[in-house]
Amino acid sequence: MKLPYVLRGSFSSTRKYSSFNARKTFVEHFVNKHEHQFIKSSSVLPRADPSLSFVNAGMNQFKSVLLGTEEPAAPRVVNSQKCIRVGGKHNDLDAVGRDGTHHTFFEMLGNWSFADYFKEDACKMAWDLLTGPYNLDQEKFVVTYFGGDQKSKLKSDQDCADIWRSIGLKSRQIIPNGMSENFWEMGPVGPCGPCTEIYYNKGGKLMELWNLVFVEYERKEDGLLYLLPKKHVDTGMGLERLSRVLQNVDCNYDTDLFQPLFEITQKVSGKDKYSSSFGEEAILDTAYRILADHSRAISIAMADGIFPDQNYKLRKLVRKCFALSINVFQMNGNEILPHLVLKVTEILGETYPELRANLNRTVETLDQEYLLYLKMQSQAKSKWEALVEQFPALEALPDDHPGLEQAVLQVKDCKEISAELAFHLHTSLGVDKELIEGLAKCFNISVDLEGYQVNVDNQKKGSRATVGAEEKLLSENSVPPTGDESKYYWEYKNGHYIFPEHMDCKILALIQNKTLVNSVKAGSECDVVTDHTHFYHEAGGQVSDVGRLCSAKGTADIVDVQKHGKYVLHKVKVLEGELRHGDPSKLSLDCKHRLSCMQHHSATHLLNSALRKLIPNTYQRSCHVTQSYLTFDFTTPFSLKDEHVETIEDFVNEQIELALPIKRRVMSLQDLPENAVKRPGEHYPDIVSLITMGKEEQVSSEPCCGTHCNNTSDLLKFCILSTKSFGTGVRSVRATTGNLALTILQAGKEAEQEVLSLQSYLDSPEYDSFKASKEIKRMRAKFFEHDQIPLVVKRRLESWLKKIDKKVTQDNKNISRDILEKQVKELFLQQSDTMFVVSAFYSDSPEPLSLLRAQQMCSAEKPSLFISRDGDGCIRGRSYVPDIMLSEGFNAETWMQPVLNVFQAVGSPPKGKENKSVWMMKVKSGEELEDKKLVTKAVLEAENYARASLLLSTLKRKQ
């Protein structure tokens, strides 16, 4: 869809207190008056937390700070965090549109104190804002606090109650609550603490407005609570609810965050205006609300680099919008949504500039997603309808989940969904907890959700344990962290790289079988931790460095390097002597390996830039960089044609010839420039390296921890080796660069010359079609079975060889026909007066002799059985018995059986010949002399069988 106009300026509202100003006032209150540092919202893509599909709370980006594994950017922080809740514990999806408060996307305004201020200051700061700049009526507030819990042995939080009294609230406005309402916990384990919730009386109903959490405990694996060494404050207030209060409207959907979305929907669809009605019969207004809500979540998610093909929950939102547009608004499925995305960008674009930066990409993605939706609807409709017809209750389930059909087939015959089956459906088919419950309801069976959740939790714990085991082992034994800054240090002089080939170090730890050992002898493997290293560990898709570790007592090959937290682990194979804890050692880097990896990694960035320029709306899925090649997986609905491959190669090689500088800059993730290309789904650390290529106008700008060349000219050449397709919309490119690319390019030129020489041979007096066939087969194996020549050359050679092969094949067919006709004519002379015909034919032609043609040349009234040994490496057999002569004792199948026994083969009839009048055999040939012996024996066996069978048949007729 083409966008109707380009966004300029920011969204303005005529409301008395706009949502934009409500957000702005909140941030300024804490920054200017209370010395907080503003931290911009993190992406809704969770950072290093695979347990979440989206960031669903304001505290997500500070989770590691609360856990004590990361230092905060400042002791006092404020922000407005983008959040999406779809599924899981915080599932607002089913309620969205049906009430006035639930949303899939919302903004959480929050202020944090990390071991700085605590309860009193937090309450006073909140109260000052609510009653000061927001000017809300003090009499309409009610606050709750934690009233204690005997089971947990926690006393009532009287300090909090006293603070509110000192601020000026009356006793009737201060209410104690229990554990479930006023004790916040991050999860089954982790930081937690009492909270105080601020409510506002809106139209006679109390509405929760702000939650202030006092993080002072940690719940451990034993279920008990322990005091934290540092206390924190974590607060959260939803912008949508705040806007509702400040704008004095009845529900969130009546605020300036949603009303413009209703207006654009009505304008595009021509339906009746939104009327704020609720209930079962308010189908149109409910659809208005769902479209508006989902369009906000879709816009935010896609702007943050989350796409439907990666995230089923996002795809679910998109397809629900398509369905509503079709079924309720009677529009083309993707006719309304792009307009809503545009309006969302207008409303929120100044606060979240990524919406503007990625607007075109979002709209193009929706176009592609709609085409995929239509295709899916067409293909899956009949299969799903058949299942629904068999099991009508399935109609209540969404029909667009890619794994649901298989899940139904696995569940339909079960008496219950066990914990193991539920876990399998979740991990293998992507079926979430809600769908599993839906399946159980449809088939009226029970489901072990408790056991399922245990399996899910164990998987998460197992993953965390595997990742952290080595780090925990080393940390508990007070092993100092590894200094690895030197991996980015080298000299660059006149295009030559001078790496610190050797580095002195000390062995701090030896790990075998997840246990620290004092020594490791020759022939064994282990992980070695040193105090310093200049080896690059595997990261960013790039393989690790390799090399050698030498001490006075032993020598080892370093075959892999991994980083676990603060430690770099060198995986080694001890070659001689032994490695001992504490020994001074020397690390020796394989410099050629390192340089080749650098060349391929820099080429990967140029390839990414080329793809983004050539193909609209493409993005990186993953990459793998080695010393020999690179692979780059990316999304696109289009196939890569020859002209695309050549265009990509030309672009990359042009950048190489321009000799562009490649620079690395270390910066905060928040300071990344807007043009920096981030990989969707990638979890970046707070401090990143920005790799740029180019001068004033940058060709490439990506955050990346890999090692790179200093100049594009050092890549020498670039060529694509192959491309692959992985399912719908995912492609992969395999390429190489450097000296390897030069070698491949030269091999391509030589291959072209070989094929041209073969073409010339076809026109020469020495031309032999049999030899030409063998040469074509050799060339195909040499050029096409391995990535030994450039892809563009490979495809060109495929076309050339196809034309050559067509001529050679026809020549061979003509020769085979002539050979067959000659041998059949000789056969006629020998067996013209026999009751049946049995014979063997021999040919060196790569084209097999046609035994069908041989039988057609014979009398249709006479049984025949022919065997051929052809030049294509096969022995074939074909038996024929006229219909009038068929019997249980003598037919094509029984006649072929003695031949099959000789070759230990299995026969079969041709298609359409089920009456046993024709039977066939095909086996691989072996050594020529041995084959001739077997063929001779088979002919003899066939003759004997036919002779005996026909004689018996004659005797029966006479009787």
Q: Which region, left, alpha or beta, applies to residue 288 given φ > 0 means left and ψ of -120 to 50 means alpha?
A: alpha
Give which of 938, 927, 945, 954 is closest to 901, Cα–Cα.
938
Q: CB 206: neighbour CB atoms within 10 A? A: 15
Q: Which residues have CB under 8 Å from 428's CB, separation 6+?
A: 403
Give which of 78, 23, 24 is closest to 234, Cα–Cα.
78
In which residue are the tokens 């400040």 written? Answer: 246
How far apart CA 504 and CA 487 sit, in angstroms, is: 14
How far apart CA 62 and CA 68 sit, in angstroms, is: 10
Cβ atoms of residues 729 and 309 within 8 Å: yes
CA dihedral sign, ordered 23, 26, 30, 33: positive
- Structure-block tokens of residue 708: 């790179």
Cβ atoms of residues 583 and 577 within 8 Å: no
How far apart CA 383 and CA 387 sit, in angstroms, is: 7
Environment class of residue 450 by beta-carbon count within 10 Å: exposed (0-12), middle (13-18) or buried (19+)? exposed
- Run of H or E residues at 198: strand 190-202
In which residue are the tokens 């890569």 written? Answer: 640
How far apart CA 281 and CA 177 sit, in angstroms, is: 37
Residue 564 is assigned to a ligand binding site: no
3-class state of residue 14 by DSSP: coil
3-class state of residue 50 by DSSP: coil
How far apart CA 158 and CA 147 sit, in angstroms, is: 8
How far apart CA 610 and CA 703 sit, in angstroms, is: 17
- Structure-block tokens of residue 189: 């384990």
- Run of H or E residues at 412: none
Identify the DSSP state of 291: H
- Structure-block tokens of residue 673: 């420039």
3-class state of residue 335 by DSSP: coil
In which residue are the tokens 């599924």 written? Answer: 87
Cβ atoms of residues 176 and 144 within 8 Å: yes
Residue 704 is assigned to a ligand binding site: yes
- Run of H or E residues at 18: none
- Structure-block tokens of residue 629: 């090649």
How far apart CA 17 and CA 22 sit, in angstroms, is: 7
Q: 459-464: long-range contacts (C-beta < 8 A, 24 or more apart)?
A: 459/423, 459/427, 460/51, 463/50
Identify the DSSP state of 936: H
How far apart CA 152 and CA 179 sit, in angstroms, is: 9
Q: Which residues have CB under 8 Å from 613's CB, separation 6+?
A: 651
- Structure-block tokens of residue 566: 């603060």
- Structure-block tokens of residue 703: 């955050």
Q: What are phi and psi of 348, to 5 degrees?
A: -110, 0
CA 877 to chain centre: 50
Q: CB 36: neighbour CB atoms within 10 A? A: 22
- Structure-block tokens of residue 811: 């020549």
Residue 102 is assigned to a ligand binding site: no
Amino acid at site 251: C
How far apart CA 674 and CA 690 sit, in angstroms, is: 12
Half-sphere exposure of 687 (CA within 13 A, CB side): 6
How far apart CA 520 and CA 517 sit, in angstroms, is: 8
In which residue are the tokens 């979002």 written? Answer: 362
Residue 605 is assigned to a ligand binding site: yes
**Residues of each annotated binding site for Zn(2+):** 601, 605, 704, 708
Binding residues: 601, 605, 704, 708
